[in-house]
Every structure is written in structure tokens, then in C-alpha cells.
């Protein structure tokens, strides 16, 4: 086989994947970008070019800024907590424990449950007066509290559900990475008299840094595309206290039927996700590998 034929064969092999990627990823993104500069067609009134009008409207939209702020708080609340909990669970179940297989299954179970079912389970926990949380509070003389109906606690409740849902998924990556670490390193650390904490801090944690960065980026992306739990738990309320960016895109596009403004909101969300990826591949990744 000549060099040219090998080159052509290679491109033919990746052509189906490239076609699907272009059809379902690149073209929708480009079409959304174009639509963000047009108005929404309504009835017999066709769409017209409005330039940056949708983006100008976004700058003066208080709900957008509220959703962006909520999403930032949601990301700060879920990403570190999910990573820390996943790492803790992975280190624990990586040891030689009795029944560790069942323990791993228990940790991973929330991940395989449908998100709508998970939200409904937690909806029962947060139900005022009859929910599990208020039942526990009642044992200590506490009064019923509208956990999802109060702006003070609604977003925190959604954060708790997201962390519970995602930590088990990220645990799998950490567990796989821990099992790739040579046991001779642990034996050498034990011979040197290193404590468990020293071994983790000096050996395991640096070796887990590439996995941590991979998990970090995925957790951040998940934080900005969360929408399922909002549908079931709060519908963005109360008073937009739990409205996240993707849920606001859904409301604008499918409830208010302003598809052009929804396209502009989508582009802002895509830019935010692109910046997260750029930070990983352009800055942090070069510092991630253990030397």
C-alpha cells in the first residue's frame, strides 16, 4: 500500500465520525450563531436582521444576570464538593475492605438512576412538613421549612442533589487511576515510615492530577448544562432563585418562543464552556502531569 493510499484510507475511516460531528455539533452551533443576529419570525412576519440587538437586550436583562450569577454559585458549590467527595470515596473503596464491591455499587448507584427519578426522590425529602428533612427537624423541635420554596435554601438544595448525583460518577475515574498506581510505591512509603496522609499527599495526589483535571472540566461543564433537576424541583423559582443559564434558554426558546434571543443566550453559554476547555488545554494541562 502506497503512502497516498494509506493517507486516503485513514481519512475514509474517520469520515463517518467527522460527518456526524459536523452535522450534529458544528452546524447547529454555526446556525445558532447566525440566528442570534436575526429576530424571531412570528406569524406572517418573517425574521429580519437585527445585528447585535439580542446581545444588547441581554446586557439589560435582569433575569439573565440572575441566571448567570446562580450558575456561578452552582458551579462553585458543586464542582469542588463533587471532586472532593469522589476522591474520598475512591480512596476508601480502593482499600481492602470487607464488602467493598457492594460499597462501590452503592456509591455508583445514584449515577445510573434517571435524573428525573432522582429529582423526584429528593423532592420527597424536601417536602415541607411531610418530607424527611422536616421529619428529622421535628425530632429536635424544629419547625417545618419550605426548602424549595424559599430563596434562601432552594439553590443550596439543588446543589446538594447535584453533588449526590455526580460524585459517584467521578469516583469511577479516581478509582481507575488509583488502581493504575504501582503498589510498590505504597510498599516503599511504608518502609520509609511515611504516614497514610503523607503517602496520599506526596505520591497519590500528584499522580492523580491528570484525572483531577479531567474530572474538573467535566464537572464544570455539567454545572453549566444542568436543567433536569430544575424542571422537577423548582422550575427556576422562587423568584428565579434557581434559574440557571440552560433552563433560562429553555424558557426563552420554548415557553416565550423567542428563538432568536434564546440563540444569543446559547452562544454565551457555549463561549463559557469554550473558555473552560481553553483553560484546561491551554494553561493547566501543561502543569498537570507528575514529574
What DSSP letter does each residue of 102-146 carry, written as one string? Answer: HHHHHHHHHHHS-HHHHHHHHHHHTSTTTSHHHHHHHHTTPPP--
Residue 10 lies in a domain: no
Residue 76 lies in a domain: yes
| pLDDT of residue 288 exceeding 80 | no
Q: Which of 33-42, 99-108, 253-262 has the lowest mean pLDDT?
A: 99-108
Residue 7 lies in a domain: no
Residue 209 lies in a domain: yes
Q: Is 38 helix (H, G, I), strand (E, B) or coil?
A: strand
- Tally of CB atoms within 10 A around 162: 25
pLDDT in tens, 166-182: 999 999 999 999 988 88
| Total domains present in the chain | 1
Q: Whole-prediction pTM value?
A: 0.88
Cα–Cα distance list, 144 to 127, 150, 234 (Å): 9, 12, 18
* 162 vs 218: CA distance, rounded Å: 13
Q: Mean pLDDT, to the nearest integer, of 104-132? A: 84
CB 82 within 8 A of CB 211: no
The pLDDT of residue 284: 64
Q: Which domain holds residue 113?
A: 53-287
The CATH number assigned to the domain holding 82 equals 1.10.3720.10
Residue 81 lies in a domain: yes
Residue 20 lies in a domain: no
Residue 214 lies in a domain: yes
34: left (phi over 0), alpha (psi -120 to 50) or beta: alpha
pLDDT, greater one: 109 or 158: 158
Residue 144 lies in a domain: yes
| pLDDT of residue 66 exceeding 60 | yes
Amino acid at each position: 500500500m502506497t503512502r497516498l493510499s494509506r493517507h486516503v484510507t485513514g481519512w475514509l475511516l474517520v469520515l463517518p465520525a467527522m460527518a456526524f460531528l459536523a452535522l450534529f455539533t458544528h452546524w447547529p452551533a454555526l446556525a445558532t450563531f447566525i440566528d442570534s443576529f436575526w429576530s424571531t419570525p412570528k406569524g406572517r412576519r418573517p425574521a429580519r436582521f437585527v445585528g447585535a440587538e439580542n446581545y444588547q437586550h441581554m446586557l439589560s436583562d435582569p433575569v439573565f444576570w440572575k441566571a448567570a450569577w446562580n450558575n456561578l454559585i452552582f458551579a462553585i458549590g458543586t464542582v469542588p464538593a463533587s471532586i472532593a467527595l469522589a476522591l474520598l470515596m475512591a480512596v476508601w473503596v480502593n482499600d481492602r475492605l470487607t464488602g467493598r464491591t457492594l460499597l462501590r455499587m452503592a456509591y455508583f448507584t445514584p449515577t445510573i438512576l434517571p435524573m428525573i427519578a432522582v429529582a423526584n426522590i429528593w423532592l420527597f425529602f424536601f417536602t415541607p412538613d411531610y418530607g424527611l428533612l422536616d421529619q428529622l427537624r421535628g425530632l429536635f423541635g424544629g419547625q417545618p421549612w419550605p426548602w424549595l420554596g424559599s430563596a434562601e435554601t432552594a439553590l443550596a438544595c439543588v446543589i446538594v442533589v447535584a453533588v449526590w448525583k455526580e460524585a459517584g460518577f467521578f469516583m469511577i475515574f479516581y478509582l481507575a487511576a488509583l488502581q493504575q498506581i504501582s503498589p510498590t510505591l505504597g510498599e516503599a512509603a511504608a518502609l520509609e515510615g511515611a504516614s497514610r496522609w503523607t503517602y496520599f499527599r506526596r505520591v497519590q495526589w500528584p499522580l492523580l492530577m491528570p484525572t483531577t483535571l479531567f474530572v474538573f472540566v467535566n464537572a464544570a461543564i455539567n454545572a453549566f448544562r444542568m436543567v433536569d433537576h430544575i424542571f422537577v424541583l423548582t422550575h427556576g423559582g422562587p423568584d428565579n432563585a434557581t434559574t440557571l443559564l440552560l433552563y433560562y434558554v429553555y424558557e426563552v426558546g420554548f415557553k416565550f418562543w423567542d428563538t432568536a434571543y434564546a440563540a444569543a443566550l446559547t452562544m454565551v453559554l457555549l463561549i463559557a464552556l469554550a473558555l473552560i476547555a481553553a483553560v484546561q488545554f491551554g494553561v493547566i494541562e501543561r502543569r498537570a502531569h507528575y514529574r
